[in-house]
Structure 1
Amino acid sequence: MLFGKLLPREGNFFEMFNQHADRIVEAARAFEQLVAHYGDLNLREKYGQDVDNAEAAADRVTHEVNKAVHKTFITPIDREQIHSLINTMDDVADLIQDSAETMTLYDVRHMTEEITRLTDLSVKCCERLRDAIKLLDKLADPATAEAALKTCEEIDRLESDADRVLRSAMSKLFREEPDVRELIKLKAIYELLETITDKCEDVANLIEGIVLENS
């Protein structure tokens, strides 16, 4: 019995999940501001740095979670679920940073309506992701578990909306953009932004599995 008491238990995994989710939303909102102020080089640089800072903070949380998994004897949910969840969440933060960096590297001339719409959907997905993550430590309550599942369904719907925007954007791009280089740039940006919502859906699927197994 004494041996069991001395072993590390639980840890603060849910708190770290929440911290990471907050950094994802910070990165997404900073990217949204980058898009909104793209024509102002100083603001573009400022918000780009904000994205980088949020992503770096998310990386640190990911490292702490993965380290804690190895040091904790009894975890609140399955170890593989913890590992998959935090690393897939980190993929979301990475994709947001990749989107900001790609715009700079490709020297995109201007923001299109489609970039704005996909960015808005990405931010909403990230916010819903955070909302779902914050419910994970209360899954013993049936109402909370149900709320988490409904939030995951919202993420699925937002991802479907992003799919439709992407298809429409591609059709318009190939019909109306005369500059081949600009077409290639915008195509890459559109696909990258839609991938953010795809990855949020992957997180939602993991959350659904955790809810169903632990509620």
Structure 2
Amino acid sequence: MLLGKLLPREGNFFELFNQHADRIVEAARAFSHLVANYNDLHLREQYNRDVDNAERAADRVTHEVNRLIHKTFITPIDRDQIHKLINTMDDVADLMQDSAETMALYDVRAMTEEITRLTDLSVKCCERVKEAVALIGKLGDPGCAEAVLKTCEEIDRLESDADRVMRSAMSKLFREQPDVLEVIKLKAIYELLESITDKCEDVANVLEGIVLEHH
């Protein structure tokens, strides 16, 4: 029992989840600005840095959550759920950074309509993740639980939209792009962007599990 008195109870996990979700949206919006201003080298570099900074800040939150799991005697939700949620969220931020880095490394010359559409869907998914995460700290309220599940359904729909854009983008790429190098570059970018929405759906699945277990 002495151990229970020495270790903190609850911890500020929900606040940290919210901080991480803020960084995800920050990274997504910076990436969106990067795509929109791709032809301006100065702005491109600036938004690349913004994505990096948001991803690093998200990493720090992830480390803090994983540290707190071991120091907290009674956690507000299951430890495995906390661990899975924060690390799946961190994967979203990592993929955003990977997408920006890959564009720079592969020297992608111009944005395509498909990159813009996948980016828009990624931003919307990240914003919905933030909305859902903000609600899980209030699961005692039945209305909040319902709102989380509804937001998770929206994330699923956005991920399905991204799948359709991806299939169409691949078909167009292989039919219309004569430059093999460009095909390789754009295929990699499309896959990364689509995987952001996939990972947001994984976050939604974790959130749904938390809600269903607590109701």
Does TM, scored on the shorter chain, surpass 0.5? yes
SS in 1 for 2:203: helix
- Which letter does structure 2 place at the counterpart of 1:140? G
- Taking the aligned partners of 2:208 and 2:40, their CA distance within structure 1 comes to 41
Deviation at residue 2 of structure 1 after TM alignment? 7.0
- Which letter does structure 2 place at the counterpart of 1:114? E
- Which letter does structure 2 place at the counterpart of 1:90? D
Aligned to 1:128: 128
Which residues of 2 match residues 80-119 of structure 1 at below 5 A?
Answer: 80-119=80-119
How high is the TM-score relative to the length of structure 2? 0.98
Which residues of 2 match residues 1-215 of structure 1 at below 5 A?
Answer: 4-215=4-215
Deviation at residue 6 of structure 1 after TM alignment? 4.0
Count of residue pairs brought into register by the alignment: 215
Deviations 1:143-192 (A, max 9, x none): 11000000000000000000000000000000000110001100000000
Over the matched positions of the two proteins, sequence identity in percent amounts to 82
- Which letter does structure 2 place at the counterpart of 1:70? H
- Taking the aligned partners of 1:176 and 1:157, their CA distance within structure 2 comes to 28
SS in 1 for 2:192: helix
SS in 2 for 1:143: helix
SS in 2 for 1:134: helix
Gaps of 5+ in 2: none
Deviations 1:3-49 (A, max 9, x none): 64443100000000000000000000000000000000000000000
- Taking the aligned partners of 1:179 and 1:158, their CA distance within structure 2 comes to 31
- Taking the aligned partners of 1:87 and 1:13, their CA distance within structure 2 comes to 13
- Taking the aligned partners of 1:25 and 1:65, their CA distance within structure 2 comes to 19
Deviation at residue 50 of structure 1 after TM alignment? 0.1
Please say if residues 4 and 73 of structure 2, whose CA atoms lie closer than 8 Å, have aligned partners that are also in contact. no
Moved over 6 A (4+): none
How high is the TM-score relative to the length of structure 1? 0.98
- Taking the aligned partners of 1:130 and 1:124, their CA distance within structure 2 comes to 10
- Taking the aligned partners of 1:62 and 1:3, their CA distance within structure 2 comes to 25
- Taking the aligned partners of 2:155 and 2:7, their CA distance within structure 1 comes to 38
Relative to structure 1, is the Cα distance of residues 62 and 173 closer, same or farther in structure 2, using a 3 angstrom cutoff? same
SS in 1 for 2:140: coil
Gaps of 5+ in 1: none
Deviation at residue 214 of structure 1 after TM alignment? 1.3
Deviations 1:68-108 (A, max 9, x none): 00000100000000000000000000000000000000000
SS in 2 for 1:54: helix
- Taking the aligned partners of 1:120 and 1:15, their CA distance within structure 2 comes to 27
